[in-house]
């Protein structure tokens, strides 16, 4: 349970900053930091077990038949990365409190930060790869919010979109690779997959899985050629940049390569793809960083280079290279986070981070200069700093690893990357903090408050401490590298001095070369400007624009708003699939003989076919078409009754009535005939598709009817009473066996009603309302809007209809009926009041909020399902019992009654919301007279009845004549 809390705490805490910002910025930051600190403390409580070599696991079953479970595990690698995420996250929270201005919405920033933090912790602690993929995509979404935090900056919005596009594309690639990997291993649990390394590498699917997974890792960790998105993410606030580059986001791809090392590493494909990509990224990123004038841009490209260094080490596939890679991840996190914080301090206090406008800041900002210098010397790999130790290990491994049989390619390229690294590190120090002081700083530079320099100072203490006493990091590196390798490690010792070695010589060459490049920086910059410089951003923008143009062309050609065209594509594709299946299958004759057809069903079938043919010929007449559709619905209802399906018959009749009335109201605003739009060629196409579709469906039905097969209906018939407590199998299926389907359907029904309300409500306001008021019907309207006979009949029938509805509802579990049919019956009863007496009259007497009725219906159905959890049973599992009350016979009560009430309320609310709003629309187009048809009060003969006395004009005239 502790592991779950470590993951969940940041997500839970994300709700707090937005609330507590009202209590002040300090309270907001303190709460955010407390959440992270609590998660970190819980993690540290597991340290003794982790360092003892234990693997801590937590597991909750969710969808075991899909292999999707909530499972976490903590080993050395997970502990290391979770510690980086939470520990550096705590420092970032402190730093951001003083970095963000009063105009920045701090509560929003901390909420995004905690969401991102929780997603990252979820990645490194997930045991199930499907769960890991969920957290993986959450990091892309939450980083999008963080990078685009300053929404007023176009660069911030573009950087966020670019990061989301590139990492999201890689995420899709990784999803496919992980699914392949899980299928090879026979499990989606990482702890199981890591035990099947030999089986995975022997599979023919190994290479596709490797390429797809590396696609996700390379895009997330900004490896060449996907490196371009990371520098553009620098438009984010500096706390975000420091967090992304040191402990999160870009380290996610590195983590996954390290996690999958036992099953993917050790092959030639792994070596040449991963090591070569890392080497190229290391050299290219370092070269670009050397000439960046923006401090954050310089540090961003340096991060790309160092990520390439770690990727190259993991690509070597040897245990010692894995040890070096783990050690450099630790070192890079410390000095890079400190450097980004100092860059933010310079920007915050001097008003710019352009190196060309800086210099001489050491005298004005001594604390910041000291922190930045120490961190930069570590990044350069100078002795007595932790970066020197891992850089020497890297050079040693490169010097002993041949590439394509050549022993000098890797060490030469690695040394070249180290030369560039020294050069840009020295440039960060000497071009910014040393040299002559200037008199044209945008702001007067000075050291910031302690809250801004203490977090990077703490990290620099670690930089120096590990550099001087590397043995302090030995236990951590050992346990983490052991988890990466998944087996015993070779003996190694972290020390400052290993004697005069080739790696030491290469390191000295790198320092000397870097100093030379800094000395001649202007010359090399001119040379760079003279050479062709392909811009990754330009190519990315061109690619995006090209894809967008192609997509628009495709969409405009296919997705033109014609439902007929969409249906034609769908039907054609369905026919193609069906024909393919038919041609590739067996065609043995069925064994079941046809039954004789009585005359009555044949006549019904002929009427149905005739109605369908009539629609084809008279479809342009909308009203006639609607009448024919009603006839077809009636025939279907009779067919259901003939086939002993009274539930379906009742439902069909009720739906038919509601649908016809709904369409009649809608057709009121449409032309009475549809225009003749289709050409002869299109009608021929549609007719051909219709004929072949009908033949295909008819043939499929015939094939099914002439063959014996096992149906699930036998199980439902047998278990209806003992399992669901009802003898009406149809209703038990709806509210019990397939209750989850019904629950989803009533939600969709409610959403559809709300959508109709939103569309029609827009027609009652603004320009649409003015057009509606000026609309003149194309046919003369009836003078008698509310016939007296209909008014009286509907009012007399209302209580009877309500009783019928209640009766149908109560009997539904054992006899034909149920909440859905009862809801339709009651809806029809209410609807008749609107039709007979008018919208205004009905609205004033039926004070019902249909929106609330829909909401309560869905909630009641959901609460009924949740109630099963209290009994330790699955969602929507029903129960029933028999009870005896005085003066009553023994009766049955089932929990599904609550669910059925929810269905009833949702159906009534949805139907009435749609129909009532159509009625409002119809009323808007009529003359502004009262909808009161009759109040049945005696009227004296001598009293003149005026049209505005509560009656419509026509009904008032009729009443006067009768009196």
Q: What is the pLDDT of residues 192-234, one digit of tens each?
A: 999 888 899 999 999 999 999 999 999 999 898 888 888 888 8
* Long-range CB contacts for residues 743-749, cutoff 8 Å, separation at least 24: 743/861, 743/862, 743/865, 743/876, 743/899, 746/857, 746/858, 746/861, 746/902, 746/903, 746/906, 746/907, 747/858, 749/906, 749/907, 749/910
Domain check: are 743 and 660 in the same one?
no
pLDDT at 935 over 50: no
| 610 within domain boundaries | yes
Domain check: are 765 and 876 in the same one?
yes
Question: What pLDDT sits at residue 944?
Answer: 37
Question: What pLDDT sits at residue 775?
Answer: 66
Q: Is the dihedral of CA 25, 31, 34, 36 positive or negative?
A: negative
Confidence grade of residue 48 (pLDDT, cut at 50, 70, 90) = very high
Domain check: are 240 and 309 in the same one?
no
Domain check: are 64 and 156 in the same one?
yes
Q: Which of 23-37, 51-65, 101-115, 406-420 has the lowest mean pLDDT?
A: 51-65
Q: Which of 79-88, 128-137, 300-309, 659-668 has the lowest mean pLDDT?
A: 659-668
Question: What pLDDT sits at residue 68?
Answer: 75
Query: Percent of the chain at pLDDT above 70?
Result: 94
pLDDT at 427 over 70: yes
pLDDT at 716 over 50: yes
Question: What pLDDT sits at residue 945?
Answer: 34
d(Cα 852, Cα 873) in Å, to the nearest integer?
A: 29
Domain check: are 347 and 468 in the same one?
yes
Task: Yes or no: say if 387 and 380 are a contact pair by the CB < 8 Å rule.
Answer: yes
Mean pLDDT value across residues 79-97: 94
Question: What pLDDT sits at residue 154?
Answer: 85
Confidence grade of residue 682 (pLDDT, cut at 50, 70, 90) = confident
Confidence grade of residue 913 (pLDDT, cut at 50, 70, 90) = confident
| 291 within domain boundaries | yes
Domain check: are 853 and 759 in the same one?
yes
Task: Yes or no: say if 189 and 127 are a contact pair by the CB < 8 Å rule.
Answer: yes
pLDDT at 452 over 60: yes
Domain check: are 869 and 960 in the same one?
no
Cα separations in angstroms, 672 against 220, 308, 622, 626? 58, 70, 6, 11
| 526 within domain boundaries | yes
Question: What pLDDT sits at residue 9?
Answer: 94
Average pLDDT of the chain?
A: 86
Question: What pLDDT sits at residue 776?
Answer: 67
Query: Which secondary-structure segment (H or E) carries 882?
Result: strand 880-883
62 or 400: which leads in pLDDT = 400
Question: What pLDDT sits at residue 176?
Answer: 93
Question: What pLDDT sits at residue 951?
Answer: 34
pLDDT at 57 over 60: yes
Q: Which of 171-175, 269-273, 594-598, 897-901 has the lowest mean pLDDT?
A: 594-598
| 859 within domain boundaries | yes
360 or 121: which leads in pLDDT = 121
Confidence grade of residue 948 (pLDDT, cut at 50, 70, 90) = very low
Domain check: are 148 and 8 in the same one?
yes
Domain check: are 875 and 767 in the same one?
yes
Question: What pLDDT sits at residue 730?
Answer: 87
| 190 within domain boundaries | no
pLDDT at 955 over 50: no
Domain check: are 937 and 921 in the same one?
no
Confidence grade of residue 949 (pLDDT, cut at 50, 70, 90) = very low
Query: Which secondary-structure segment (H or E) carries 49?
Result: helix 47-51
Q: Let me know if 773 is exposed, middle or buried by CB neighbors in 10 A (0-12, 13-18, 19+).
A: exposed
pLDDT at 719 over 60: yes
Query: Percent of the chain at pLDDT above 90?
Result: 38
Task: Yes or no: say if 922 and 944 are a contact pair by the CB < 8 Å rule.
Answer: no
Question: What pLDDT sits at residue 179?
Answer: 92
Where in the sequence is the domain holding 866, given as residue range(s)?
Answer: 726-926
d(Cα 374, Cα 367) in Å, to the nearest integer?
A: 11
Torsion of CA 810, 815, 818, 823, to 10 degrees: -80
Domain check: are 739 and 834 in the same one?
yes
Task: Yes or no: say if 467 and 378 are a contact pair by the CB < 8 Å rule.
Answer: yes
| 906 within domain boundaries | yes
- Domain total of the chain: 6
Question: What pLDDT sits at residue 930?
Answer: 45
Cα 605 off chain centre by: 48
| 336 within domain boundaries | yes
Q: What is the pLDDT of residues 843-876, one digit of tens each?
A: 777 778 888 999 999 999 989 888 888 877 888 8
Domain check: are 84 and 1 in the same one?
yes
Q: What is the pLDDT of residues 549-589, one digit of tens each?
A: 998 888 887 777 778 788 888 899 999 998 888 888 777 77
| 166 within domain boundaries | yes
């Amino acid at each position: 349970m502790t592991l779950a809390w470590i993951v969940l705490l940041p997500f839970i805490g994300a709700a707090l900053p937005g609330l507590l910002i009202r209590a002040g910025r300090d309270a907001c930051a303190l709460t955010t930091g407390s959440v992270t600190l609590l998660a970190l403390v819980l993690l540290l409580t597991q340290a003794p077990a982790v360092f003892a070599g234990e693997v801590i696991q937590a597991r909750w079953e969710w969808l075991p038949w899909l292999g999707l479970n909530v499972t976490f595990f903590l080993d050395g690698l997970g502990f290391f990365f979770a510690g980086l995420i939470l520990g550096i996250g705590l420092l970032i929270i402190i730093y951001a409190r003083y970095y963000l201005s009063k105009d920045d919405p701090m509560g929003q920033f901390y909420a995004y930060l905690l969401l991102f933090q929780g997603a990252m912790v979820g990645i490194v602690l997930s045991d199930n790869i499907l769960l890991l993929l969920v957290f993986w995509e959450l990091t892309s979404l939450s980083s999008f919010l963080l990078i685009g935090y300053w929404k007023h900056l176009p660069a911030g919005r573009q950087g966020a979109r670019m990061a989301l596009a590139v990492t999201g594309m890689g995420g899709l690639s990784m999803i496919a690779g992980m699914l392949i990997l899980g299928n090879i291993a026979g499990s989606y649990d990482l702890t199981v997959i890591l035990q099947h390394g030999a089986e995975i590498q022997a599979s023919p699917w190994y290479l596709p899985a490797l390429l797809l997974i590396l696609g996700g890792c390379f895009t997330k960790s900004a490896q060449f050629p996907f490196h371009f998105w990371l520098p553009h993410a620098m438009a984010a606030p500096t706390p975000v940049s420091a967090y992304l580059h040191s402990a999160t986001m870009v380290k996610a791809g590195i983590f996954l390569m390290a996690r999958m090392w036992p099953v993917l590493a050790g092959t030639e494909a792994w070596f040449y793809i991963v090591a070569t990509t890392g080497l190229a990224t290391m050299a290219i990123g370092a070269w670009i960083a050397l000439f960046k004038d923006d401090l954050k841009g310089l540090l961003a490209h340096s991060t790309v280079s160092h990520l390439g260094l770690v990727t190259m080490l993991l690509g070597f596939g040897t245990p010692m290279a894995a040890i070096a890679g783990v050690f450099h991840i630790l070192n890079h996190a410390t000095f890079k986070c400190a450097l980004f914080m100092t860059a933010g301090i310079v920007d915050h206090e001097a008003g710019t981070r352009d190196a060309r406008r800086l210099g001489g800041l050491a005298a004005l900002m001594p604390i910041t200069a000291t922190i930045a210098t120490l961190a930069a010397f570590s990044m350069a790999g100078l002795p007595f700093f932790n970066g020197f130790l891992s850089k020497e290990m890297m050079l040693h491994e490169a010097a002993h690893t041949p590439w394509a049989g050549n022993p000098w390619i890797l060490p030469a390229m690695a040394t070249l990357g180290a030369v560039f690294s020294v050069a840009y590190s020295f440039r960060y120090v000497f071009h910014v903090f040393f040299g002559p002081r200037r008199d044209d700083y945008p702001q007067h530079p000075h050291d910031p408050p302690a809250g801004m320099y203490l977090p990077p100072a703490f990290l620099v203490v670690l930089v120096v401490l590990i550099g001087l006493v590397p043995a302090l990091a030995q236990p951590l590196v050992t346990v983490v590298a052991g988890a990466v390798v998944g087996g015993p490690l070779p003996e190694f010792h972290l020390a400052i001095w290993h004697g005069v070695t080739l790696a030491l010589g290469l390191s000295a060459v790198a320092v000397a070369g870097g100093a030379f490049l800094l000395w001649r920086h202007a010359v090399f910059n001119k040379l760079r400007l003279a050479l062709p410089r392909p811009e990754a951003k330009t190519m990315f923008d061109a690619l995006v624009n090209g894809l967008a143009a192609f997509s628009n062309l495709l969409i405009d050609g296919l997705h033109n708003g014609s439902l007929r065209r969409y249906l034609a594509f769908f039907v054609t594709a369905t026919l193609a699939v069906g024909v393919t299946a038919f041609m590739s299958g067996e065609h043995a004759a069925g064994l079941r003989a046809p039954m004789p057809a009585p005359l009555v069903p044949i006549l019904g079938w002929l009427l149905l076919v005739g109605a369908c043919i009539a629609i084809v010929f008279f479809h342009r007449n909308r009203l006639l078409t609607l009448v024919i559709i009603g006839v077809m619905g009636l025939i279907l209802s009779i067919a259901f009754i003939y086939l002993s399906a009274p539930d379906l018959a009742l439902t069909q009749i009720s739906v038919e009535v509601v649908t016809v009335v709904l369409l009649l109201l809608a057709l009121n605003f449409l032309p009475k005939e549809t225009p003749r739009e289709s050409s002869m060629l299109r009608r021929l196409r549609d007719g051909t598709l219709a004929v072949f579709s009908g033949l295909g469906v008819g043939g499929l039905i015939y094939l099914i009817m002439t063959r014996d097969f096992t149906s699930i209906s036998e199980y439902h018939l047998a278990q209806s009473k003992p399992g669901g407590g009802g003898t009406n199998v149809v209703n038990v299926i709806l509210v019990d066996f397939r209750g989850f389907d019904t629950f989803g359907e009533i939600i969709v029904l409610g959403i559809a009603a709300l959508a109709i309300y939103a569309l029609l409500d827009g027609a009652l306001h603004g320009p649409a309302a003015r057009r509606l008021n000026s609309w003149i019907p194309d046919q003369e309207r009836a003078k008698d809007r509310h016939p007296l006979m209909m008014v009286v009949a509907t009012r007399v029938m209302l209580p009877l209809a309500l009783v019928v509805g209640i009766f149908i509802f109560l009997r539904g579990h054992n006899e034909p009926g149920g909440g859905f049919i009862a809801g339709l019956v009651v809806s029809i009863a209410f609807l008749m009041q609107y039709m007979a007496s008018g919208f205004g009259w009905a609205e004033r007497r039926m004070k019902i909020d249909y929106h609330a009725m829909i909401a309560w219906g869905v909630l009641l159905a959901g609460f009924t399902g949740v109630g099963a959890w209290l009994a330790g049973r699955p969602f929507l599992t029903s129960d029933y019992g028999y009870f005896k009350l005085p003066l009553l016979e023994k009766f049955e009560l089932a929990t599904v009654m609550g669910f059925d009430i929810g269905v009833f309320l949702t159906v009534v609310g949805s139907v009435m919301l749609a129909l009532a709003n159509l009625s409002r629309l119809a009323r808007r187009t009529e003359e502004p007279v009262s909808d009161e048809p009759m109040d049945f009060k005696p009227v004296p003969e001598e009293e003149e009845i005026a049209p505005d006395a509560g009656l419509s004009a026509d009904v008032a005239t009729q009443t006067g004549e009768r009196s």
